[in-house]
């Protein structure tokens, strides 16, 4: 669960585009989107 300040602007738009997806799935997407950037 990364704070909004850590997410890139493009990552902030993801939940808006995927309103039909569960919170758990959103967390999965966020984690995998952030990991390559952290490495």
| Residue in the structure block whose two tokens are 């758990």 | 24
Task: Delimit the domains of the chain by residue range.
Answer: 9-38
Q: Residue 15: its pLDDT value, please?
A: 57
The H-assigned helical ranges of the chain are 9-17, 23-38
Q: Residue 7: its pLDDT value, please?
A: 55
Q: Residue 11: its pLDDT value, please?
A: 56
Q: pLDDT (tens digit, 9 = 90+) per residue, 1-35?
A: 556 555 555 555 555 555 666 666 666 666 666 55
């Amino acid at each position: 669960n990364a704070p909004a300040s850590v997410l890139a602007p493009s990552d902030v738009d993801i939940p808006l585009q995927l309103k039909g997806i569960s919170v758990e799935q959103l967390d999965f997407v966020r984690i995998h989107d952030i990991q390559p950037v952290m490495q």
